[in-house]
Amino acid sequence: MATKNRFSSKPKSSLIPWLGIAAIVILFDQITKITIQRTFSYAQEMVITSYFNLVLAYNKGAAFSFLSDQGGWQRYFFTAIALAAAGYIIYLLKKHAGQRMFCWALSLILGGALGNAIDRLFYGHVVDFLDFHWKSWGHFPAFNIADSAICIGAALFIIDELRRVNK
């Protein structure tokens, strides 16, 4: 019968919690997208505040609708990038499972990337619905929960790197 080495200096960290965070992001992202698609017609808006609307929008491109006016190849290109990134992120999560902020960042980015990849695979576009705007500035491009998770993850990644460099 095998026994655990209680005196091992190597920290025991699992990949499971980090994949769980990514799964929660994907679940929340997909539930909100399904809800907005069942509630709204394409381009329909609901004013929530003077600076925020809900709107059903489709993005066939990448961030800020980059390459959205192309012939359709971008759907597969951005899906492939998301899946390749997911594979690399899972490798990094496994390798650095004990680094909490780094893994939080990667988990959020992983969940966001896969949430948007699911949209591209099933719908041919990403479903966006969060619309912020200011009178003097105009509308910020609509986005979704997956996009938010990616941005928060990127911010955590930068903070983690800055903390590591300043040690």
Active-site annotation, residues: 128, 147
Residue written as token pair 């903070």? 159
Q: Give the integer Cα–Cα distance in Å for 70 and 85.
A: 23
Q: Give the integer Cα–Cα distance in Å for 160 and 104.
A: 10
Element (H, E) at 112: helix 100-123
Cβ atoms of 54 and 129 closer than 8 Å: yes
Around Cβ 76, how many Cβ atoms within 10 Å?
Answer: 12
